[in-house]
Each structure stands twice: as C-alpha cells, then as structure tokens.
Structure 1
C-alpha cells in the first residue's frame, strides 16, 4: 500500500465461502441419542503403537532425504487406515459477503497446529535451540507468533526439525553422516545400526516423562525434545491430509485435541473437543466419513494431492484479494461478490491457459525452492556448540536461566483431567443438546442429499441484510465444512 502520510489505505472486511459436493450424511435417526454422556478422556488417549510406527518412519525419512544412500527399508512404512478414493473434488465458490464474522468450525487444525507449535517453541533470539534463535541466526524475516504466514512458519519448523533429528542421528550412529551418507554403500550392519538407533530414539524421546528428561538433560535439551515430539504430530497430520487418509486424521486428531487444551487458544481448544466428541461418539459411521471427507479437497484428481478445505479457502481468499485490488478504486461489492469471488478459480484456469498458449516461462509464476542444506547444517552446528543432543554430558551455558517450553500434551491432559475443562465442556454441551432437542433443531443442518455446505464466515443475523435477489441464504446450515477466515480487501492506490 501507499505509505505516504495523508494517503491512507482503506480496508473492508469480507467473508467468502464454498459449497463442496460430498458424500451423503446418512439418516439422522441413526445418530446416538446422548453422545456427550458417552464421551470420556479415555477416548482421546491412544496406546501409542501407531504413533511409534509413524515416528520411526519420519526419523529414518529425514536421514534418507538428506543422505540418499540410506534406504528406508530398515523400518516399516506408515500403513494407511482409510484413504479416500482419488478423484477431483467438485467445489463451487459462493458470493463474497461484506460482513465481519469468522468461525473455526470444520477447520482441520493444520494452520492452527503450526501456529501453536511456533508460539510454544519460539523462545527468543538469545535462547539456543529455539525457533526464534534459529530465525535470528539465519537472518530470516521474523515470523509473527500470533498470525504467522503458514508457508514461512512451516518451512522454518521443518528445517529446525530436520536439523535436530540429524543431530540425534550423529550421536546415535557415532559417526559423520556426511561421509557415510554420500560416499559409502549402506551395509547390512549399517541397516542394523539404524534399526537399533531408531528404537533408541523413540524410547528416549517419545516414552520418557518431560520432567524426568529435564532433570537428566537440562532445560535446553528438554525444550528441543518437546519440539521434536510436537513436530512429529504435526508432520503426521500433514502426511495424512496429503494422502487423503481420514482414518489417520481421526487417530492423530485425538492427540491434537489434548495438545490444544494447553495453549491460549480457547476457541480452538473447545472446537477440537467438540469435533473429537462428534467423531468418536456423536456421528454414525456414514456421517463421520462424510464429515471428514468434506474437510479435504483434491484440486487435481491425483494421488497424494489432498489439501485441507480451509487452506483451499485461504487460497481463494488470496486470489480474491488480488482480483479485487486489480479492479481499481471504483470497484464495488457487487463486482466482488458476483464477478470476482464466484469465478476466482475460472480466472486461474484462464491465466494458466494464456501462459501455456504464449509459452510464458514458468519462473514468472513459480519460485524454485531454496536449498536448505546450508541452513540445516548451520543449525546442526549450533546445536552441537551448545551441547544440545550431545553425548558429552555437558549442558548449555546458563542452562538454568533458559525457560523450558510447555509440554503441550502433558499440560493439555492435566487441564482436561484435573483442571475441570472436560467436565465443563460436557456439562455445557449437554445443556446445548437439550435446548436443540426442545426446539427441534438439527445441529448438523437440514440437508439430506449429497452436498455438504461450507458457509465459512456467514453471520446469519447479517445475512438477511446482505441478501441479493435470487440467492437463498436460508440454505446455509450451521458450519460443517471448511472455515473461511476473515479477508481484508485493501484499497491500494
């Protein structure tokens, strides 16, 4: 925007939404009559076996990705649980509405989980091993802890994770990864060493209590260990989404629900509890599959190309902003809601066709991923110099002054168990169910066909005021699919 004094930008808040064609919700009479009475903390606690299989896979995957001579055959792959059939999702963008209202309903937590991990493990520019320290050390742009750019945060978190895991591998294998991973052929004995090492890593990082770990290894090492734990959950969620495996999503969501009870995001804490309760005790099997399926979108019809529907909506929001800003100062909301937002994907298809027809170079649109090898090695060297994940028995200088990151899982579990959060949630929602039953309201919505509606940020009180002739806003049920966060449309001169 224009930064000159006296020439201020103007901003309007708007909301966008998308209809996604999905599966049948099934008959309401098949739903449990009193689902909240059946929901308990034990429903969210897993036995840890699926997590360990996934964690072993991701530990070895880091090694294989950076050093190609290592093979992934030393650990079993992550088995699918319930993958969706590969097909292109049919979605229909709706008119944008000039309202300032948002919802977290239907969000798959991918962006919010990355934000929660970033806030928890950001530390400071003077805290060795923390994300904030690495950002400053690598001269990266600062990430806003409250509302970070998702892609920038994802990149920084993953690079820090890779560096820490490779540092662990150095200690477990007791050798220089560079020499073995790029020049030597992996032998049977090396495969056996990797298999033993990954078991040791899982036992050391995933099974030990964080308070006991802190007493043994100190504050900096404990924060690093907790970061790896949280990132393993995040990476599993991302992988399950990409593969369209709603079974794995359902499983990892149990852990995420507990983790979210520890951070200062009250709305998301309550929402994840409600979502998990519905999945585990509230919905019939048919409805559960339909609801989870509606939270994923495949824009290409190819394998491993699924994205969360809320992230898809964010992309639509960005494209709408660009189109709105390009319209000039005389653009109107009528232009935005009819001409821009409803055709935003069509504009993208036309752009691709024009670029192909005129042989426009790809680098005008796409950016090559920057090689992170140097930055990851820099982080590894920093970890080594501060005795983080070292076998020498030393601790980071001034380790006692370092504030240990929250144990998100432990803290969340305690809030649910002894903090009274779960009992409060069950009591309030049981009352909600009574009110719904007394007024004959279906909280899922009245539609019974094969179309699941995402109303994004729609405020039903304002909908009548914004209603245009020919568009029936009464079709919107309570939100059940992707969230479409508030969009700001900037008047740039």
Structure 2
C-alpha cells in the first residue's frame, strides 16, 4: 500500500529551532518572516506557486483548495474569492506586466486561430466541386457527424473557445442539474424560458441532441450544432470553396421546398450555397443516377424495369383566360437488380426457349388451375391462426403488462407458415428517371420501351434479341403490352413485335384493388342501417370521414384492419365469457390460451362450414361478419407474404382473389389473377419463375420481414417527384423533371434523412395515435357486445333494398359468386382470348366483358373506387404493401 507524500521538513523542526516565537507574531510579521526565508533560500515565486498547486502533499493541497474556494460568508468583500483579490492587486500594482502579458497572449491566440483557420480552408475534405458530386458523395462525404470530428481534430483551439461560450452552464442549468433528481422538470424550469421554446419536449429535453453529442443537462438545444454552424459559416465567408456544410444545407433546404429568397438570404450569411449551385448539383446527380442504372443494365446481371404513369395537374388553382390549366402526363421508371444466387440466368432469360412455351395454357382447367385446392385451404387456415394470435397478443388492452409478451410474439412469428420466402438481401434499386411519354396506351408503351432502350444506350439488337426483358407495372401496363404485342404480331423485327418483353403485374396495385373489393363487398348499402357488421356502421362509430365515393387507400385499409382486430377481441371476450372491456384489461392469458382462441375463431368464423351454418340459420349479421373476417384475414396474409417475399404464398391468395374480384365486379384484375396463375404454371420455365418471384419485391435494408412490392417502391419515388421534391411555379415542366427532379430523388431522400436525423427531428405523434387507436377498438367492441354478435345464432335479416320482393337477403359470398361467373362461360372466353396459337399467332381483342360491371346485388356497390391519387399515408407505410402504420387512420393524406 503506497504512502501519502509528506513534507521533508515537519513543523516540529521549527518548534525546536524557534520555540514558541511564531505564536506571538502578528500575521504581518509572519509574512515578513516567510518572505525573508524565501529571499534567504533564493526561491522564485515561479517555482513556488506551481509546487503549491501541483503537489500531492495533503496539508498543502488543503490550503491551496481553500485559497481557490468561494466564501459566501464574507459578504460583499472581494475576499469571498481569494484569486480575485490577487488578480486585482496584480492589475493595480503591475500595469506594465499586465500590458506585457496581454501583448504576449493576444498575438499567440491570434496566431493559433489563424493557423487553424488556414488549415480548415485549405483542407480538400471540405471543398465540394459541383462537377464531382455524385450519388455516392452524400453517403460518404455529406455526413454532418464526419464534419464535426474534422473540426474538433483540426481546430481544437477555435472549437474550445466556442464550446466554452456555447456550452458553459448558466445559473438556470446549474440549478436544473442540482434539483432535477428531486423535483419535477416543470417546477425547475422558469416559465419565461418554457414560453421561449414552444416545441420544447418536457419529457425528453435531449430529444433534439445530435448523434454522438455529450450529455449536457438542461440544454434543450445541442451546443455542438451551434459550434458546427459557426465555424462553417466563418470559414465559408473567408473562402467560399470551403463549402461542405453550406452545400449540405443548401441541398436540404432546396429539396424540402424552401423558397429561393430564403435560400439566398441563408447564402448571404454563410449557411447555404446559392440556388444556382444547388440546381447544378441536382442535374449532376440526375446524370449520375442514370449512369448507375445504365451500368446495371449493361452489367449482364438480371434486372427488372418498373415503370408507371405520373400525372401532374398544372395551374389548377391559377386559371385565367391566358393561363389555362393542363395535365402533364409522364412516366417514371426504375431499374431493380434481381438477386441471381442459385439461378442459371442465361437459361432463365433465353428468349427462344421462352417463346417456345407460348400457347401451353390451352391445357388449363378451371377446377385444377384456378379454384383453390384443399392444400391452399389448410395453409391459409394455419396462417389465419397465427395472424389472429398476433392480433390478440399485440392489441389486447393491457397486453403490455403481460408477463413474457415479447417471447409470445417471437414464438408466434417463428411459427408463421411460409412456402418459399426469400433470403433478406438489400435490393440494388436505381431510379432511371422520368420519360416524357404517357404509357397508358398501346402506342405509349411502344414509345416508352424505345425511349428506355435509347436512354440505356443499347441498339435494337442488344435490347430485343439478346435476352428476355422483364417489365413490371400495374394491370394496365401488362394489358397494354399484351395488346400491343397482338397488334404487332406481323411486324418483321423482334423490336417491333415486342416479343422480347415479359410483363409482370406488380403486387401493390393488387392490394389497391383488394381494398376496393373489401369496400364494395362489406361497406354496406347507403340506404340501409340494419347491419351493424358493415364497414359503414363501424366507420360511423369511430368517426372516420374519408370520402366513400373515392376511398383513400390508407384509410380504407386502416378501417378494415381495425374493424377486424375489434372483432377478434370481441370473440376473445365471448370465448372467456367476458361482457365488459375492462375485463380484457385485467386478463392475463398464456400463449396456449391465445392459441385456443385463435383455433376457435378459425373453426367457427373463417371456415366454409361456419359460414354455411350462419347462412342456414338466417343470421345475416353473423354471416356477413364471417365473410368479412375471412376476406380481411386473406388481405393480411397477402401483406405478410409480401413482407417476407413469399411468392408461392402470394399465388395461393391470388387463387381466392381471382374469384373475389369476379364476384365484386372487378373483372380486369380477376382476369389478371388468372393470367398470372396460368403463366406461372404453363408458360414460364422454372429458372425464369425464380427470377420473376424475386422481381416482385424490394428490400431497402436487407432485413427479414422488410420486403415491399416493387411497384410500391416506384410509387414512393413518384410521391417524391410529385409532392416533395417538385419544382415551384413555372419550373414544373417535363424537361425540368427529367433533368433535375426524378432520377435524383433517391439521393435527395438520403440527404433529407441524414440531415434531419443528425440535427434532430423526432416524431412524437405515435403515443397519441396509439391511445386513439385503443379507444376506437373499445367503441367497436362495446357496440358488438350491445348487438350480441359472435354469440348464439338467431334470425336477423339484412334486406336487399333493390330487390322487388321483400325478405331477400343482401348478404352473399363474393367468392362463391365469382366462381359461378367464371364457370358460366367466362372461363372459356378468357382462355380463348388469351391463348397463343402457333398457326394464327396471338388472338385479336380482349375478353368481351373486360370492362363490364357485375350488377348483382352485393353489400356495397354504389361508391366508385379506391383512388389512384396516392399520398404519403398510402405509400410510405411500414407494411409490405403500404398504407401507413398500424395506428394510422389514413385521413392525414385524404
């Protein structure tokens, strides 16, 4: 054990030599005695003072600490702080020394600051030249955290001075630090200071702190941000070539819609580059993005070209006789790399082999190739069980207090059935920019494909003869490609015949149509208020206000899911013989209890036998309720299959939707379901099937369960082009969008994310949404309990208001009706109209009923369709097919 350092000469030595003499001396005499000893020993104060303040000897350290302390009891005397007395005496008695010290310190500080400033403005890392900016620049160079580390390393003196100025605690923050543990934040914080910051988060005062910043109690803003901006603005004023942070800020301000006047003002004070430089950067990034896409297309790796219409309505609210509105119809596109592990790509994309398979669907049969099989039913019943179990564990009130809830959810997720989900890998997605072509027609498709070929810098042989091209879009895109191919079957070159293209109908648009099908089938007759199980009844209970004639996708999906969850929770109440919502809040089940309820729901509410039983009993309420539960669970299974990129599971769902779309009068997508099912079984090689199953999906981060539909990815790009990064005023032209506003939007999104995340942009809305969501569930469940749903069957009629005779039920199974329509001649007509004949070529024309509406009485027929005008709530959701997060109502974008 080490000993503490001691004085070499103890006080006892002086007692032996001087006796009691020091006790009789006055303080002034003692000072003279000590000074004489210093002179006698020839000790300099420059040596003595460092010894006093640096030594580890306890007696001397105690006296030094007392000298540096603050003595409140000494009143207003300067002696409260002894160093201040010393400083005052020094300034009063040694003015020449003071001036000499200032003369030494000031040039030294200036010299250090100048050297650091020169080092910064000469640093190549901080200089951005417009012509060198690429898409990769933003992920490597344009990172604010990297810039802070550079300043701290290369200009520690300047950073230290500014940090002292910005981060030193004031009286209020010192008080906060002392009292925060014992008092509430609101009591400690002065009212004037709270009023000064209306956005201050009292629950989390560090919410706006940048990544990697130190904890500074009491600071509502990160001082490092102010220091970073200050140094950057000063160096930018000294040398405009030192423009890293101003360039980041300029691009961020511009793409977030900041006006040119504001950007110019920010440029004048050194916080941004000019608007002209930002415009040059946008054009360079667009060119670089197209080069990157072109590189992928020429690399020999498989890819899918996804494209979709993008319509702008210009000057809609500014129309004058000389300034009339118009519609700008262009087409946005993206190139998506397809993972090719385990696939013979050359064999899969062999054009000659693919063409030999045309016409094999002539052997197809409705019963074996379209109707769901018993295996499909068993698979979906198992999937339904675990979806229901997840709903119960995740959304039951009070479930957050269940013991082992997280483990329950993990076990349910692990037990979910899958067919062939893809291994999570990040998708190589490369925006290809907008084309000034409207692809919504056969002629438009032909022109667009030629424009894509030219932008890819391929000749006609490279594009149309070397290999099969995979083309993705919605139903209309696929139908136009097939129609154009039929019309051009006699053309001479493969480029003109369009035989090189393999169209793929993408999945997000199937989800859009499925949501419309749910609205058509389950909304309820506008003239009827006698069905408490309809979506109309539930919509009125929870006060949703979206337009029934053009239902917003996110709102319709949200209402369907919330209604389903409420029904599941009410069945759980009935199963446990509860009759009040509060009993659910105190319920503490095991996972086996949850599985028992899920099995009960699958057996008694989603099986065909349960539906027939309710139908035979004349209970239209419970019959409709069972149809609704089955149909929305099927939608949830489709979303889950997309989230895990499970193509075989999607095909199972399409078998059911092929019938449901027919029964709901959506013939185009009913035929498209059949087209996909027949093409996958008869006209696509196993290797190509693997490629197409991967071309359906995009995974940004390579995480499990984070796949989205490829056309949803394109719709997200469309949203950025049309709503977020759009030009202002007269800048909305096709040329501007092509050159500066479409291919670059993925990079812009990255900039927006990096900057807002670093400088603090927390989303604090979820908590209120979650509470509102739970309250909606309570209202729906209590209404079901009041109507005695999910209990004993009884005769309850939902009358068909259009029927000529009274007593006719408006409830029927849309899938059974769809199967009847298919088998009533529609199947043979479809097969005849779509089968390739080796002698005659492609059939001419469409199926006769392609655009007809089924006028049979269904529960909901009057409103129009789910809108194609998609907003942020529709396409920016967390699910594999968009539609907002689980607590959203979807009405924000309505």
The interval holding the TM-score normalised by the smaller chain is 0.7 to 0.9
Bigger radius of gyration among the two: 2
Query: 1:15 aligns to what SS in structure 2?
Result: strand
- The 3 A distance-change label for structure 1 pair 74 and 86 is closer
**Where does 1:343-492 land on structure 2 (aligned, <5 Å)?**
343-362=744-763, 369-371=769-771, 372-391=773-792, 393-394=793-794, 399-400=798-799, 404-417=810-823, 419-431=824-836, 435-436=840-841
* Residue from 187, 190, 198 that aligns with 2:598: 198
Contact 1:82 1:247 in 2 (8 A): yes
* Residue from 77, 80, 83 that aligns with 2:421: 83
In the other structure, the counterpart of 1:38 is 363
In the other structure, the counterpart of 2:540 is 136
- Alpha-carbon distance, 1:263 to partner: 2.1
In the other structure, the counterpart of 2:506 is 107
Query: 1:12 aligns to what SS in structure 2?
Result: strand
Contact 1:14 1:100 in 2 (8 A): yes
Report Cα offsets for 1:202-254 as digits up to 9, x if no partner: 23221227455223152222222111110111000000111122232222222
Task: Give unpaired runs (5+ residues) of structure 2.
Answer: 1-314, 441-473, 479-504, 802-808, 844-867, 872-894
Contact 2:517 2:660 in 1 (8 A): no
CA distance in 2, matches of 1:325, 1:405: 47
Query: 2:617 aligns to what SS in structure 1?
Result: helix
* Residue from 380, 384, 388 that aligns with 1:51: 380
CA distance in 2, matches of 1:110, 1:13: 24
Query: 1:208 aligns to what SS in structure 2?
Result: helix
- The 3 A distance-change label for structure 1 pair 82 and 3 is same
- The 3 A distance-change label for structure 1 pair 35 and 239 is same
1:64 aligns with 2:393: yes
In the other structure, the counterpart of 1:153 is 556
- Alpha-carbon distance, 1:327 to partner: 2.8
1:322 aligns with 2:723: yes
- Alpha-carbon distance, 1:130 to partner: 1.2
Contact 1:96 1:337 in 2 (8 A): yes
- Alpha-carbon distance, 1:50 to partner: 0.3
Report Cα offsets for 1:85-127 as digits up to 9, x if no partner: 2111112223323444435131211222122112211114634
Query: 1:95 aligns to what SS in structure 2?
Result: strand
Contact 1:143 1:152 in 2 (8 A): no
RMSD (Å), alpha carbons: 3.3
**Higher RCO by CA contacts (8 Å cutoff, separation 6 or greater):** 1
The worse-fitting range, judged by mean Cα deviation, of 90-99 and 59-68 is 90-99
- Alpha-carbon distance, 1:83 to partner: 1.4
What's the TM-score once normalised by structure 2's chain length?
0.45
Query: 1:162 aligns to what SS in structure 2?
Result: helix
In the other structure, the counterpart of 1:472 is none
CA distance in 2, matches of 1:381, 1:38: 53
CA distance in 1, matches of 2:540, 2:423: 44
Contact 1:15 1:98 in 2 (8 A): yes
Contact 1:18 1:94 in 2 (8 A): yes
CA distance in 2, matches of 1:175, 1:168: 10
Contact 1:261 1:269 in 2 (8 A): yes
Query: 2:520 aligns to what SS in structure 1?
Result: helix
What's the TM-score once normalised by structure 1's chain length?
0.78
Task: Give unpaired runs (5+ residues) of structure 1.
Answer: 439-484, 489-493
CA distance in 2, matches of 1:8, 1:344: 29
- Alpha-carbon distance, 1:195 to partner: 4.5
1:27 aligns with 2:350: yes
CA distance in 2, matches of 1:323, 1:186: 46
In the other structure, the counterpart of 1:94 is 432
In the other structure, the counterpart of 2:258 is none
CA distance in 2, matches of 1:269, 1:52: 23
In the other structure, the counterpart of 1:296 is 697
CA distance in 2, matches of 1:297, 1:74: 25
CA distance in 1, matches of 2:570, 2:746: 44
In the other structure, the counterpart of 2:586 is 183
- The 3 A distance-change label for structure 1 pair 433 and 141 is farther
Contact 2:699 2:707 in 1 (8 A): yes
In the other structure, the counterpart of 2:663 is 262
CA distance in 2, matches of 1:33, 1:246: 22
CA distance in 2, matches of 1:219, 1:437: 46
